[in-house]
Structure 1
Amino acid sequence: MNSSNYDHLVRMQVFDFLGELADRYGDVLPLDPLRQGINFHGHRVPLLGPQGIFKPKILDLPISITTAPNSPYDDSFTEDNLVRYRYRGTDPHHRDNVGLRALMMERKPLVYFHGIVPGRYVATWPAFVVGDDPKGLAVTIAVDDRAALSEHVVLGAYDDDANSRRRYVTAAVKVRLHQRLFRERVLAAYRDQCALCRLRHTSLLEAAHITPDSSPDGEPVVKNGVSLCKLHHAAFDQNILGIRPDYVVEIRKDILEEIDGPMLRFGLQQMHGQKIIIPRRADFRPDKIALEGRYQAFREA
């Protein structure tokens, strides 16, 4: 088997494995199975390593790049919907940086892991190195549609339609990453529980914006979020419940007077007058100015 076919088979197995993990865990993947990786003909192939650019032993070129949570590197989305990914170190000729350039020349795909919180990553693939800036110590990355990942693309064939499609897909990845970042960081700040009812099933928890994300001030930052279960998030969005700037919950008057089953009584009415739990870190606690604005909207509704 020549090296090109060998490389191709490893990458395809890695991509299939990531698809299986995504089916099991959703968009945000735990670290352990990524470290364990795949078994390829008796060889263990981890998917990421301690450094941002990772090449497993059995391959000649990197299989993944990683942005760690709170990374000091300036990995960011550009105005034309691509990703600028920093070199390792300051030497353009470091073997990891040379490996990225080789991926670009051979048009081989890799995986881009974006750290959300420690131990949890969003994986996007196939990602391609589409530009190189040795003076700026960075490469440019574009994410492609998985449906376009045919065998001839993995083997490095040119794709006439790739550029515009990759910009569109990378823009969608940017939105998805911001959503996942917001959710995971808000839930972590609230210790993976609903701020009202203390429900701890993370699959039923969501990050509610205080100032809506449709507003210019609705930044996806922890202090503009509250961890809520699906019921209380919906009630918050529909102005059935409000949260005062002193963190006390109010339930709308007509809902308090309504007579219904136990869900209404225990899930909403008994929340009236209770204080929400708040993050331990002061800078993660709900912004009181944002809460005041949202509370006034609740009162008006």
Structure 2
Amino acid sequence: MNKEGAIRREAIQWLKFRSDDGATPLDRDEILDFHFEGEPFRLQPTQTGIWKPRGFEAALSIVTVFRGPKQKRPYEDTIGNDNLIRYAWRGDDPNHHDNRALRSAMENQVPIIWFIGVGMGPATFQVVCPVYLIAEEPKFRRFVIAPVDDEAFLPRETGKETEIQETVKRYLSRETRVRLHQPVFRATVLRAYETHCAVCNLGHRVLLDAAHVVPDADELGIASVVNGMALCKIHHAAFDSSILGVSPDHRIHIRRDLLEEIDGPMLQHGLKELHGSKLMKLPAKRSERPRSDLLEIAYKKFLEAEPA
């Protein structure tokens, strides 16, 4: 393996270890801690979205900058009909050196690192690696990204669909959801809630989930911080099963039959005593709080689950 390949492999392994395989986002200073053969080695660019270190033949990493709700990024990632992510060229010139660096990564099927911004102050990134560029769409000036492990089968476009290709596309779509969408959503939501449960204010990351207000499988569900709440595992399960509801005014409601039930201290203190109280934790930025119309949809579902 040449030096470029060795750096690429070691960087990916190091990032997976430091981020607990993508479970914990890293800030820029933490990412700068990477060393190769005892010397510091930069893993992400400072000014552009595509990073090809000096002497490399292909890009090492790409960056998607953080933007809050309703803010636009300089280059907006899009999702195709196959549910795979598209990453835009830099500019319009296919021969721009950054675009050539990405094309080289695609043609040589080398893994790259994707840093996805999930917060500012400090700049914090969800690390998704390895990812592969599996196709280019020159007409739309973009590449197709698949977040898959090295041993995964990577298809080449043949111009003719086969049953195997369709199976692979479904696999890649599922991998994109599990390895990219879900971790980025979790990191964004937990950052907004400062790693505390909205209902009980529990502050231990390992016990927290990023709950969708409206399920993302639902047509109305959106993978955005405004469709999320940080909830501990007990309150997440209670919310998803309509034992606990949150009205648009951020009040907690417990299903009536549970209020009448006599059980142990968890039911009493963890659920029943919260009935009618306000959420204990909300994002400091109002733009990152749950959208009222989405809370209304979820609260209606909760009311419909009330026993007659």
TM range (shorter): 0.7 to 0.9
CA separation of 1:166 and 1:98: change in aligned 2, threshold 3 A: farther
CA separation of 1:288 and 1:91: change in aligned 2, threshold 3 A: closer
Determine the structure 1 residue equivalent to 2:274: 271
Determine the structure 1 residue equivalent to 2:59: 62
Determine the structure 1 residue equivalent to 2:114: 112
Q: Which moved more, 1:140-149 or 1:111-120?
A: 140-149
Counterpart CA distance in 2 for 1:264 and 1:171 is 39
Structure 2 residue 254 is the aligned partner of structure 1 residue 251: yes
Determine the structure 1 residue equivalent to 2:176: 174
Structure 1 spans left out of the alignment, 5+ residues = 150-161
Structure 2 residue 77 is the aligned partner of structure 1 residue 75: yes
Determine the structure 2 residue equivalent to 1:123: 128
Name the count of aligned residue pairs. Answer: 285
Matched-pair identity in % = 37
- Large movers: runs of 4+ above 4 Å: 162-166
Aligned pairs for 1:1-301 (under 5 A) are: 5-22=2-19, 24=20, 26-31=22-27, 32-39=29-36, 41-50=37-46, 51-57=48-54, 59-70=56-67, 71-118=73-120, 119-128=124-133, 130-131=135-136, 133=138, 136-148=140-152, 167-176=169-178, 177-276=180-279, 277-301=281-305
TM-superposed deviation, 1:175:
1.4
SS at match of 2:199: coil
Structure 2 spans left out of the alignment, 5+ residues = 68-72, 154-163
SS at match of 2:113: strand
Contact 1:111–1:124 (CA<8 Å) still a contact in 2?
yes
Of Structure 1 and Structure 2, which has the larger fraction of its residues in helix?
A: 1
Counterpart CA distance in 2 for 1:99 and 1:67 is 17
TM-superposed deviation, 1:248:
1.8
TM-score if structure 1 supplies the norm length? 0.79
CA separation of 1:227 and 1:90: change in aligned 2, threshold 3 A: same
Q: Bigger radius of gyration, 1 or 2?
A: 1
Counterpart CA distance in 1 for 2:276 and 2:170 is 47
Q: Which moved more, 1:47-56 or 1:177-186?
A: 177-186
TM-superposed deviation, 1:96:
2.2
- By relative contact order (CA 8 Å, sep 6+), the higher-ranking structure is 2
Pairwise CA RMSD: 3.1
CA separation of 1:65 and 1:129: change in aligned 2, threshold 3 A: farther
CA separation of 1:59 and 1:179: change in aligned 2, threshold 3 A: same
TM-superposed deviation, 1:185:
2.7
TM-superposed deviation, 1:30:
0.5
* Per-residue CA distance 1:142-199 (angstroms, 9 max, x = gap): 44433249xxxxxxxxxxxx97786445423431332233323333333322122111
Determine the structure 2 residue equivalent to 1:153: none
